[in-house]
Amino acid sequence: MRLRSVKLVLVMASLLVAAAAQAQSVSRSTFNVLQRVQKIMEEERYADALAELEVLVVDTQNNPYDNALANQYLAHTSIMLDNPQGTRAALEAGLANTGLPEDMRAEMNLFYGTVLLGEEEYELARIALADWIAVAAYPQPSQIFSFAYANYMSGNVAQAEPLVDRAIGSAVQPLEPWYQLYYRILFDLKKFELAGSVLHGMISRNPANQMYWRMLVSHYQQLERPGDALATIMTAYLNGSIDSQSDFKQIVSLYGYLDAPEKGARMLQEWLANGELPSDPKILKQLGNLWLMARERESAVVVLKEAATLAPDGRTFELLGGIYFEEEEWPEAYTAYQNAIRVGGLEEPFRISLLAGISAMRAEQTEDARISLEIAAESEQFKKQAEALLKRLDDG
């Protein structure tokens, strides 16, 4: 958020001058200059207005009210010239005047706080806006929200909650970012049920907003409620509210986490078949793991072999080896384990050598078994097992 994005129509310059003149608080000479500046600004001659105001600020140094008003105009002009340093300096100079009327000081603090928000100076903004709201008679909902945002971003989360609630409650049509902040505040304060209600309301008002559905899924996951997370994301999927590859992958992961791997595998297989997900090795490996969890070993072998063909990976070959080993398909197990060792990237290569040796022994591939077991015997962890198996080979 930059300064020009917070151009304020806090007060129209002409209204400021009129109000000041009516209250007989501003001198005639200052009034005349500001009236002239108003016309120059209406012509968008901001550099000329700036020059006039810089002179006026100097000329009014001994008149606090006139000086504050001149600096307020100078701040507005600096905004139009994209000069954040000038805006801040003018407002700080105006606020430095003592004895200003309460309403004028409050108005300048509102202006100053809003500018500071645009510059992401959240703690300074909070202080300025706190001075303003303490005396503000009829603050607008958007102004209250700005104060809530300043509190939240400066770490005063508990103080932000009633403010954003007040802003939403007093607005004819609250903006969506207000609800988004309210949700974040409630979640940070661990008011999870209320936060969830706010989020459900956001979805009800805008069911096509994919971000809100994903926020609700994340909400349930952070609360360790995977069943609710899956129900939410499946609802969004079925009504067409989400359709990205990351959403599909999350659905599959949740099925696996909830001990329903077969459902996840079948959905993933369908998405691969119709092209909604690419047949890349990572996704194929995920599918293979789901089939393994579902005890569909033949399906797992087909998918993992395809993944290993597309991008040889030691861990994938290790999984294949484990499947063949459990099925007592010893030659296939030995070949898979050897491929795993050849490709590399294993967490426990000596353990894989031991398994390769055992597989070769049972396949009656004596020399292959000896080579693998001798490698495994180099590890302290597997030395005894490997040496015992080597002795069995020697004893015939």
pLDDT reported for residue 84: 85
pLDDT reported for residue 280: 85
pLDDT for residue 111 is more than 50: yes
Q: What is the DSSP string of 112-145?
A: HHHHHHHTT-HHHHHHHHHHHHTT-SS--HHHHH
Q: What is the DSSP string of 14-33?
A: HHHHHHHHHTT-S-HHHHHH
CA pair distance 158, 99, nearest whole angstrom:
33
Q: 278-304 b/e with 16+ CB inside 10 Å = b?
A: eeebebbbbbbbbbbbbebbebbbebb
pLDDT reported for residue 223: 95
Fold type of domain 313-396: 1.25.40
Q: What end-to-end distance do the CA atoms of the chain give, in Å?
A: 79
Whether the model pTM is above 0.85: no
pLDDT reported for residue 18: 40
Mean pLDDT value of segment 150-174: 96
Mean pLDDT value of segment 255-279: 90
Question: Comparing C-alpha atoms, which of 307, 319, 316, 257 is closest to residue 278?
Answer: 307
pLDDT for residue 21 is more than 70: no
pLDDT reported for residue 11: 37
pLDDT bin (cut points 50, 70, 90) of residue 279 is confident
Cα angle at 105 between 10 and 136, to 5 degrees? 70
Mean pLDDT lowest for which of 3-7, 154-158, 235-239, 365-369? 3-7
Q: How many H-runs (helices) and E-runs (strands) does the chain carry?
A: 22, 0
Q: Where exactly are the structural domains of the chain?
A: 1-136, 246-311, 313-396
Cα angle at 131 between 125 and 137, to 5 degrees? 120
Per-residue pLDDT reduced to its tens digit, 339-353: 999 988 888 999 999
Confirm whether 246-311 and 313-396 share one CATH topology: yes
pLDDT reported for residue 98: 85
Per-residue pLDDT reduced to its tens digit, 136-153: 888 999 999 999 999 999
Mean pLDDT value of segment 178-204: 96
CA pair distance 377, 356, nearest whole angstrom:
13
pLDDT for residue 22 is more than 90: no
pLDDT reported for residue 396: 65
Fold type of domain 246-311: 1.25.40
Per-residue pLDDT reduced to its tens digit, 70-92: 999 999 899 889 888 899 999 99
Mean pLDDT value of segment 320-334: 92
At 71, which amino acid appears? N
Q: What is the DSSP string of 362-373?
A: HTT-HHHHHHHH
pLDDT reported for residue 13: 40
Structure tokens of 366?
């004596």
73, 11 Cβ separation under 8 angstroms: no
The mean predicted confidence, pLDDT, of the chain is 89
pLDDT for residue 9 is more than 50: no
CA pair distance 90, 68, nearest whole angstrom:
9
Mean pLDDT value of segment 194-203: 96
pLDDT for residue 52 is more than 60: yes
376, 386 Cβ separation under 8 angstroms: yes
For residue 327, what is the DSSP state? T
Mean pLDDT value of segment 11-28: 52
pLDDT for residue 17 is more than 70: no
Per-residue pLDDT reduced to its tens digit, 213-252: 999 999 999 999 999 999 999 999 998 888 888 999 899 9
Question: Comparing C-alpha atoms, which of 290, 338, 350 is closest to residue 314?
Answer: 338
pLDDT reported for residue 15: 39
Fold type of domain 1-136: 1.25.40
